[in-house]
Amino acid sequence: MIAKPAKRIPDIKPKALLARVTEGRTVSSYQRKEVIFAQGDPADVVCYVQKGRVRLSVVSKQGKEAVVGFVNADQFFGEACLAGQQLRMSSATATEESTIIQFPKRAMMRLLHTDAKFSELFTAYLLSRNIQYEEELVDQLFNSSEKRLARILLMLAHFGKEGTKEPVIPKISQEVLAGMVGTTRSRVSHFMNKFRKLGFIHYNGGLLVHSSLLNVVLHD
């Protein structure tokens, strides 16, 4: 089965619209590895990444942690509270110095009901992210660990995103990648070495991902 790159979530930059939400709005700065909210915390705010990147992860009852995904600048997270979620199903942790804007659930609901343009953008964002989740599920069910790793690296490097000149991934551990792929760290290390030898990736302060890595994803 041929796996296609995930559809890019629309670039939503509703700063003018977000500025209208003043009731209870807070802006906070987080350092790398600092927790924004933890699994099981009350779900009463919607978060927006003004700067930085956030990792979403879950921990099972047996204590096993899995990475759900990453949230980049100009993207929302924690919006499940708008659909009635009472407690956080995952933890959100800054992976680099980040600035997060938090909006109370009631204020976001009011904006969604009164501002048609914002509602349209936000709905498009949620639908697009749902498509991404479905593609990731298909990826897990039908594709090899190698293809899943290649797809995740392309996604983290914003492959195909307008304005991205250098596909560089900030520091990310192989343990985290293994959690995202659903395999072991040793398998990730094996594939990363293979990608490097084939010239698909390159280490130079950060991890550079070349477009040729797409061949791994598209190869049947």
Q: What is the pLDDT of residues 9-18, one digit of tens each?
A: 455 555 666 7
Q: What is the pLDDT of residue 6?
A: 46
> CA–CA separation, 151 vs 85, rounded Å?
30
- Indicate if the pLDDT at residue 101 is higher than 90: yes
- What average pLDDT does range 17-35 have in this prediction? 85
Q: What is the pLDDT of residue 3?
A: 45
- Indicate if the pLDDT at residue 163 is higher than 50: no
Q: For 105-140, how does the pLDDT look when each residue is reduced to its tens digit (9 = 90+)?
A: 998 898 888 888 888 888 887 887 777 767 766 666
Q: 201-204 and 206-209 as β-strands: parallel, antiparallel, unpaired? A: antiparallel
Q: What is the pLDDT of residue 38?
A: 96
Please name the helix (run of DSSP H) or strand (run of DSSP E) that holds residue 23, with its range, or none.
Answer: none
> CA–CA separation, 117 vs 123, rounded Å?
10
Q: What confidence category does residue 2 fall into, taking pLDDT thresholds of 50, 70 and 90? A: very low
Q: What confidence category does residue 30 fall into, taking pLDDT thresholds of 50, 70 and 90? A: very high
Residue with the bigger pLDDT between 3 and 202: it is 202
- Of all residues in the chain, what percent carry a pLDDT higher than 70? 82
177, with CB counted inside 10 A (0-12, 13-18, 19+), is buried
- Indicate if the pLDDT at residue 210 is higher than 60: yes
- What average pLDDT does range 154-163 have in this prediction? 68
Q: What is the pLDDT of residue 71?
A: 86
pTM, two decimal places: 0.66
List, in sequence order, every residue forming a beta bridge with 208; answer none if it has no partner: 168, 202
List, in sequence order, every residue forming a beta bridge with 87; answer none if it has no partner: 42
Half-sphere exposure of 206 (CA within 13 A, CB side): 12
Q: Which residues contact 114 (CB under 8 A, 6 or more apart)?
A: none
